[in-house]
């Protein structure tokens, strides 16, 4: 690595056919930060996360994760929670945990089991039988139990009731290593902004603002949620 960036996202344009989803987007992320990726529907958040994870290829531009392009090395250090579940609905929570433990050498099975207890889930239940919010908890447990360097969470807690969100957020932040970076796409800004160090505000495929939450609060006198509502007012 020639610099201290965990992720370099340089001059990325992504087109789906003739649709420009990202237009010359650049940002760099340092290790040890929690970044909120915020923007209206269709602004390009999921596209960014899929590009970083190597599920999509950029039309133009360059992505580097710890100095390397997305590939085998980056997949070993990225833990990704996609917007839709890909897990086998017929598997029990305990089976899914064992499956992940077999698949990822950085998976901490003890941490996963602790989180199952903390989030009041029954490991003998099949995913198929769980409510939407409890399914989300299971997916988060699986993703956060890896000792990854970069966590990419696409809308992680949309289905969880507001009272449980805080508890889940606390569980997340107390269970990842302090030099890891989390990038979280969400519409639940007021619920989650307390854990963000930085935010990237994106609109129609271009970055409106990338700054620390402290700077935003100092410079605008507003919370991120207030700023978002003002900037992206319909």
Question: Which spans of this chain sit near ligand ATP (rule: CB under 6 A)?
Answer: 16, 19, 21, 39, 41-47
Nearer to ligand ATP, 43 or 139 (CB): 43
Smallest gap from Cβ 80 to ligand ATP, in A, equals 14
Taking alpha carbons only, the member of 56, 5, 51, 6 closest to residue 25 is 51
Q: Three-class SS of residue 184? A: strand
Nearer to ligand ATP, 42 or 71 (CB): 42
Smallest gap from Cβ 97 to ligand ATP, in A, equals 28
Smallest gap from Cβ 58 to ligand ATP, in A, equals 13
List the structure tokens of 98.
């064992």
Helices (H), the chain: 45-52, 72-77, 93-103, 109-118, 132-144, 162-173, 189-192, 213-220, 224-231
Taking alpha carbons only, the member of 103, 43, 115 closest to residue 76 is 103
Nearer to ligand ATP, 44 or 138 (CB): 44
Residue labelled with tokens 């941490």: 111
Smallest gap from Cβ 134 to ligand ATP, in A, equals 22
H/E element, 20: strand 19-29
Nearer to ligand ATP, 91 or 231 (CB): 231
Smallest gap from Cβ 232 to ligand ATP, in A, equals 11
Nearer to ligand ATP, 92 or 187 (CB): 187
Residue 66 CA to residue 7 CA, distance in Å, equals 6
Q: Report the residue count for the chain.
A: 234
Nearer to ligand ATP, 171 or 185 (CB): 185
Taking alpha carbons only, the member of 176, 185, 143, 148 closest to residue 43 is 185
Residue 6 CA to residue 67 CA, distance in Å, equals 8
Smallest gap from Cβ 16 to ligand ATP, in A, equals 3
């Amino acid at each position: 690595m020639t610099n201290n960036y965990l992720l370099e996202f340089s001059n990325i344009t992504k087109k789906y056919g003739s649709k420009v989803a990202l237009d010359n987007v650049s940002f760099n992320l340092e290790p040890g930060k929690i970044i909120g990726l915020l923007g209206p529907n269709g602004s390009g958040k999921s596209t960014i996360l899929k590009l970083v994870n190597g599920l999509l290829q950029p039309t133009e531009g360059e992505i580097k994760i710890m100095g390397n392009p997305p590939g085998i090395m980056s997949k070993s250090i990225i833990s990704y929670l996609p917007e839709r579940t890909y897990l086998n609905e017929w598997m029990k929570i305990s089976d899914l945990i064992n499956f992940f433990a077999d698949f990822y050498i950085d998976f901490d099975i003890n941490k996963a089991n602790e989180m199952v207890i903390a989030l009041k889930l029954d490991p003998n239940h099949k995913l198929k039988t769980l409510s939407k919010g409890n399914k989300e908890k299971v997916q988060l447990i699986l993703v956060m139990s890896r000792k990854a360097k970069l966590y990419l969470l696409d809308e992680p807690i949309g289905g969880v009731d507001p009272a449980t969100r805080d508890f889940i957020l606390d569980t997340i932040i107390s269970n990842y290593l302090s030099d890891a970076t989390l990038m979280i796409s969400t519409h639940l800004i007021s619920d989650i902004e307390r854990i963000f160090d930085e935010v990237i505000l994106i609109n129609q495929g271009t970055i409106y603002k990338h700054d620390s939450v402290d700077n935003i609060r100092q410079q605008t006198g507003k919370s991120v949620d207030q700023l978002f509502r003002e900037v992206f007012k319909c």
